[in-house]
Amino acid sequence: MATRSSLSSELPEERRISIDSKHEDNDKASLEEVTYEEERPWKYKLIALLCVLSLAVGSHYAAHTLDALKSIVKTELGISNSKYGIIQSAVSLVNTILPIFGGIFIDIFGTWIGSILATSLIAVGNIFVALSANLRSFAMMVIGRTLYGIGSGTIVIVQTAILSHWFKGKGLAIAVGTQIAVSRLASFLSNLTVVPIWESTGFYGWALWFSALLCVISLIINIIYIFLMKMLHDELSRHEMKKIKQKKKFSPKKLLVFPNIFWIFVLLEFGLGSAWTSFLHTQTELIKVRWNSTDKYAAFASSIAQFLPIFVSPFLGHFLDRFGNRSLTLIMSSIFLTISMCLLGFVELTPIVIIMGTICFSISLSLGPVVLLSSIPIIMPLDYVGTALGIDKSSSNIGSTIYDILVGILQDKDGGKYGMVMRFYLGNSVCVIFISILLYFVSKNWRNGILDMKEDERKRKRAIVKVKDYNKPIKMNYFYIAIFIALLITSWVLFFNYIN
């Protein structure tokens, strides 16, 4: 199958009428494509869904193997908390810029090459991480995490793009919710199993080698998916080729026409996404230090944070499709994050407090990501979705890089304790509440409240954001882009300042 004719090569638009103002006379052809999209057999959709969900199992397992091993990694490699922050931020650092280009790549070329490169880098990177445990090499672990980061950042965009292709207008939020649930299941099992693997084998490196094996399996599944799509190519290529011919080259000027509401999502992704990610990196040791527990219990307790999204995310996707209210859901996610930080950081820890605090964090983690991911295709036109997702993910990784390093610095200054760290997280979560409230009021007046509409209502009102709606630059976008670049530079400066 040729790269440009992959079935996942473009994100379709729900009831799309035209590609842009230059193609308005092609309304009939576009409408035929939409009808065809909706008539695709569910057996093909199910095959695509299962394969896509399997793509990142190894990646998400690997993402949290070091979380539960923080204490032993610092001991074995002889590093400080800030150096451990460098190891974790190596993943997010490369993804401060790569998701942008990954999104552009999907806009122009589709997902075939991107998925192969992503899963290959994930596998090779985690093999390096496993080797670093055997060699006790801090440098090799950073290199391995960097390679892994390059692949892991792109694979999320690839997954979302493929799911949007198959399920746009037919339960995209449910599909995205299922994607997040499977990812969280892999992360939950990672937190739950790495310490037992370490204790049963006597060497923590075996947990890392098991993670690398899962990443290789994900690569094999990716290859299987491509061959399955090649088998379907003869049936669907005529329609796919029609859409591919309608593609346009990416222009950076597109950034200047992005709506203000999109940048609110970028800010929320920065505040929420980086808080979720960086806190998961330290929660196990937080419980161990504050409650003086064993590694095994701390890892078990922290794994609960990944448990609820496994079951809640798909149902939340159905809720969003049926009832809307995305902005209210983000407010709830922010509130539960704040409650969690209060319980885990400022209340005397008991088993009940630990469980309740972790459950609140898990609720926040269940609600937020589904809304953030599934909202972008609603507020952005077809041709901009890949790039918008890339910028959105990049903002999360900029925040994660800064937060991971800053948390390590604060912990070192606090003598290895978590008082300063938790005050930082609490302040961040309170700010996010206000930002999510801002989104609520903005969304009410933006395009007749399309963001919070039910899926059926959007269809009935033909409420679609089209490319021709974004034909004038917005002056405020220069300011937003400048802030984005400033934070990007800050993340890189912090990383290289503390890696030595």
Which residue's entry shows tokens 């440009």? 4
CB 169 within 8 A of CB 155: no
169: alpha, beta or left? (left if phi > 0; alpha if psi -120 to 50): left
What pLDDT is attached to residue 464? Answer: 64
Cβ neighbours of residue 13 under 8 Å, at least 6 residues apart? 168, 381, 382, 464, 466
Give CA–CA dist 31/18, Å, rounded: 8
CB 285 within 8 A of CB 70: yes
What pLDDT is attached to residue 323? Answer: 83
**350-355 long-range contacts, CB within 8 A, separation 24+:** 354/287, 354/291, 354/301, 355/301, 355/304
**DSSP H stretches of helix in 202-294:** 205-245, 260-268, 274-291
CB 414 within 8 A of CB 424: no
pLDDT in tens, the chain (500 residues): 343 333 333 333 333 333 333 333 443 333 333 433 445 567 777 777 887 788 778 888 998 899 889 999 999 999 999 999 999 999 989 888 876 665 565 555 556 777 788 889 999 999 999 999 999 999 999 999 999 988 887 777 677 667 766 776 556 767 776 777 788 888 889 988 999 999 999 999 999 999 999 999 989 888 887 777 777 653 444 444 344 333 333 456 778 888 999 999 999 999 999 999 999 999 999 999 998 888 889 999 999 998 888 888 777 877 887 888 899 999 999 999 999 999 999 999 899 999 999 999 999 998 998 899 888 888 888 777 777 877 888 899 999 999 999 999 999 999 999 999 999 999 999 999 999 999 999 998 888 788 888 777 777 665 566 666 667 788 899 999 999 999 999 999 999 998 87
What pLDDT is attached to residue 145? Answer: 95
* Token pair recorded at residue 94: 């490369």
CB 345 within 8 A of CB 217: no
Q: Where are the domains of the chain?
A: 3-236+243-498
What pLDDT is attached to residue 427? Answer: 97
What pLDDT is attached to residue 70? Answer: 92
The number of CA neighbours under 13 Å toward the Cβ of 26 is 15
Q: What is the CB neighbour count within 10 angstroms for residue 226? A: 17
Q: Which CATH code is given to the segment(s) 3-236+243-498? A: 1.20.1250.20
* Token pair recorded at residue 253: 């000027």
